[in-house]
């Protein structure tokens, strides 16, 4: 029979915080294993030292690299992968010999712990048990005597190794937060806290529950003194009152959201901002300036994510099918006197949020809210420029989405555009739930267009994974078209240059008598 494998959490540092079950398993173990950095002792072993029996075999699993460089051909990832494989082999030898193995884990084994890598490699082969331990952040919360989350507060645990803009965004969107993995990341983490407007209520706790424990406001910490064994706590807003409890999700659940705010005191101008198709360099200077001055950004989640986080900015992100709810939220904020921007991809006036805002603003309650639309580069402009000049002559723009209009109307308009011999830009050609419309549209267009009519398929243009395909109407494969695509179907005069560029002449030959 094989031995049993146990992942045992020993808590954050104070030996008295080890659970009774963990203490029993350690004291009965045939083999006690623990991780340690090169040239360093194991903190997990130090915590459990008085419980390890003298008869136990100890396996010190020493990392080949932690924060330094390595000459391993697979780099840092390859070096650690080999290390975990070798560590699993060493423990497996004991288990195969019938010995019970306890792998010590500081804090909790399944919370940013190295135990998990051994679990992945051994749990399917040997009987395994896991004993939870007190994680460092709960010990830090107790040390700081700072309630972390109350009532409906949302708590987010974040690694300090996240990119600084991403960390700032997530800090701004949550009520309470715990930031782990500090050390060298501390300066960037502090900047992210400041950008998110959360620095004032951030508490730094070092070596929680240990004799060297200390705590102080994050703003007062010397970055050169921060060890890896430290955390930052950002207490919940229901205590601090630092942010509105309103979000796009609240409004989406029903109602305009007016009741969530204080009585109207003044009215501010509501901006509707087009962000362009993707890259920051396509954002206009006017839009960039406006976004740097507003206090609230409202929009579909992926578009809100594109606005840099900064102190004083509150985000209101929601799903893709609640445009009117988003518009009412923004109008309510503007009625209160808040500076608000509703953001939209591409140009806000081309299948974007501008029309939703004006539709919602028809409610008499919003009659005094001024609305201004700031233009952005449209997706059709971006795709056309990548292809050449396919919309250089007269052209039409249509959406194949039948969410807001019946398919009969779409098909009738497709025929009208085809008969008018206009180049056609097609938005929303397909989605997860709409897979047949593009095939039907292709069939309708082929009734009036030559099979060799050029078709441009732009996917995620302006983003890292963009692609551009030039095909023909006959060869277009509807199965390759998805929600990330925009299509441009040429007119009868659209042609390809010798270099494969697509362009439509500004002039049109007379077809009288044809």
Confirm if 149 and 236 have CB atoms less than 8 A apart.
Answer: yes
> Comparing C-alpha atoms, which of 381, 367, 334, 373 is closest to residue 355?
373
Query: Cα separation of 413 and 325, whole Å?
Result: 29
What is the rounded distance in angstroms from the CA atom of residue 499 to the CA atom of residue 208?
A: 66
Provide the 3-class DSSP secondary structure of residue 288.
Answer: helix
What does the DSSP assignment read for 97-119?
TT--EEEEESB-TTSS-THHHHH
pLDDT reading at 257 higher than 80: no
Q: Is residue 153 pLDDT above 90, yes or no? A: no
Kindly report the CA angle at 283 between 278 and 285, in degrees rounded to 5?
175
**151-189 per-residue burial string, b: 16 or more CB within 10 A, e: under 16:** eebeeeebebebebeebbbbbbbbbbbbbbbbbebbebb
CA distances from 392 to 446, 496, 510 (A): 22, 13, 18
Which pLDDT score, from 0 to 100, does residue 263 have?
A: 42
Which residues make Cβ contacts (< 8 Å) with residue 416, sequence separation at least 6? none
Can you spell out the DSSP letters for 85-97?
A: HHHHHHHHHHHHT
Report the alpha-carbon angle 343-270-428, nearest 5: 30
pLDDT of res. 510: 61
- 128 vs 85: CA distance, rounded Å: 18
Lowest mean pLDDT among 86-100, 246-260, 382-396: 246-260
The DSSP H or E segment spanning 491 is none
**Mind listing the pLDDT tens digit for each residue in 374-423?**
999 999 999 999 999 999 999 999 999 888 889 999 999 999 999 999 99
Residue 264 is predicted with a pLDDT of 39
Are the beta carbons of 177 and 234 closer than 8 angstroms?
A: yes
Determine how many CB atoms are found less than 10 A away from the CB of residue 39. 6
What's the pLDDT band for 68 if we cut at 50, 70, 90? Answer: low
Please give the pLDDT value at position 350.
93
Q: 427 vs 248, which has greater pLDDT?
A: 427
Q: 180 pLDDT band (50/70/90 cuts)? A: very high
Please answer whether residues 252 and 318 qualify as being in contact, where contact means their C-beta atoms are separated by less than 8 angstroms: yes
Taken in order of first residue, the domains within the chain and their CATH numbers are 5-133 (3.40.1010.10), 138-240 (3.30.950.10), 248-374 (3.40.1010.10), 380-503 (3.30.950.10)
| pLDDT of the residue at 436 | 86
User: What pLDDT band is residue 513 in, cutting at 50, 70 and 90?
Assistant: very low
Compute the CA torsion angle 33, 39, 40, 42 (nearest 10 deg): 0
Q: 348 Cβ partners below 8 Å, 6+ apart? A: 272, 273, 274, 342, 354, 373, 374, 375, 376
Q: What is the mean pLDDT of residues 240-247?
A: 42
Helix (H) or strand (E) holding 75: helix 75-96
pTM above 0.75, yes or no: no
Closest-CA residue to 356 (of 320, 382, 381): 320
Distance spanning both ends of the chain, measured CA to CA: 90
Place of tokens 């040239």: 39
Q: In this model, does residue 261 exceed pLDDT 80?
A: no
pLDDT of residue 362: 94
* Residue % of the chain over a pLDDT of 90: 68
Compute the Cα dihedral for 328, 333, 339, 343 and give only its sign. Answer: negative
Q: Is pLDDT at 262 greater than 80 in this prediction?
A: no
Least confident among 60-69, 77-86, 271-280, 467-476: 60-69
Examine the pLDDT at 13 and tell me if it is beyond 70.
yes
As a whole number of Å, the CA-based R_g of the chain is 30
Asked if residues 136 and 112 have their Cβ atoms less than 8 Å apart, the reply is no
Say if residues 276 and 379 touch (Cβ distance below 8 Å): no
Confidence check: pLDDT of 255 > 70: no
pLDDT (tens digit per residue) in 182-209:
999 999 999 999 888 888 889 999 999 9
Q: Residue 244 pLDDT more than 50?
A: no
What confidence score (pLDDT) does residue 135 get?
94
**pLDDT, position 511:** 55
């Amino acid at each position: 029979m094989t031995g049993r494998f146990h992942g045992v959490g020993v808590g954050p540092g104070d030996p008295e915080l080890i659970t009774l079950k963990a203490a029993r398993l350690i004291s009965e173990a045939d083999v006690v294993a623990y991780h340690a950095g090169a040239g360093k002792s194991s903190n997990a072993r130090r915590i459990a030292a008085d419980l390890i029996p003298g008869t136990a075999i100890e396996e010190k699993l020493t990392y080949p690299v932690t924060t330094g460089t390595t000459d391993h051909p697979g780099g840092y990832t390859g070096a650690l992968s080999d290390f975990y494989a070798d560590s699993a082999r060493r423990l497996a030898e004991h288990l195969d010999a019938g010995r019970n193995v306890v792998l010590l884990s500081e804090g909790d084994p399944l919370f940013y712990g190295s135990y998990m890598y051994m679990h992945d490699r051994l749990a399917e082969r040997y009987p395994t048990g896991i004993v939870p331990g007190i994680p460092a952040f709960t010990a830090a919360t107790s040390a700081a005597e700072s309630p972390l989350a109350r009532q409906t507060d949302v708590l987010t645990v974040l690694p300090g190794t996240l990119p600084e803009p991403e960390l700032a965004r997530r800090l701004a969107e949550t009520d309470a937060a715990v930031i782990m993995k500090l050390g060298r990341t501390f300066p960037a983490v502090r900047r992210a806290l400041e950008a998110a407007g959360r620095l004032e209520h951030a508490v730094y706790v070092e070596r929680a529950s240990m004799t060297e424990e200390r705590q102080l406001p994050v703003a007062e910490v010397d970055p050169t003194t921060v060890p890896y064994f430290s955390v930052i706590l950002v207490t919940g807003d229901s205590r601090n009152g630092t942010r509105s409890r309103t979000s796009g999700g609240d409004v989406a659940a029903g109602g305009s959201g007016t009741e969530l705010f204080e009585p109207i005191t003044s009215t501010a101008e509501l901006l509707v901002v087009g962000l362009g198709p993707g890259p920051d360099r396509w954002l206009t200077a006017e839009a960039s300036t406006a976004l740097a001055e507003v206090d609230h950004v409202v929009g579909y989640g992926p578009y809100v994510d594109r606005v840099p986080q900064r102190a004083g900015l509150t985000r209101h992100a929601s799903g893709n099918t609640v445009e009117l709810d988003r518009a009412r939220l923004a109008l309510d904020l503007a009625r209160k006197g808040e500076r608000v921007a509703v953001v939209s991809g591409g140009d806000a006036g081309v299948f974007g949020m501008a029309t939703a805002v004006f539709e919602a603003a028809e409610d008499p309650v919003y009659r005094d809210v001024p609305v201004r639309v700031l233009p952005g580069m449209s997706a059709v402009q971006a795709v056309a420029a990548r292809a050449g000049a396919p919309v250089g002559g007269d052209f039409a723009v249509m959406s194949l989405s039948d969410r807001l209009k019946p398919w009969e109307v779409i098909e009738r308009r497709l025929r009208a555009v085809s008969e008018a011999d206009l180049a056609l830009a097609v938005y929303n050609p397909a989605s997860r739930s709409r897979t047949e419309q593009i095939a039907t549209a292709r069939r309708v267009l082929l009734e009036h267009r030559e099979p060799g009519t050029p078709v441009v398929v732009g996917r995620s243009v302006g983003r890292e994974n963009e692609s551009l395909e030039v095909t023909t109407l006959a060869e277009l494969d509807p199965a390759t078209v998805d929600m990330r695509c925009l299509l441009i179907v040429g007119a009868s005069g659209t042609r390809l240059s010798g270099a494969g560029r697509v362009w439509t002449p500004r002039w049109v030959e007379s077809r009288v008598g044809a």
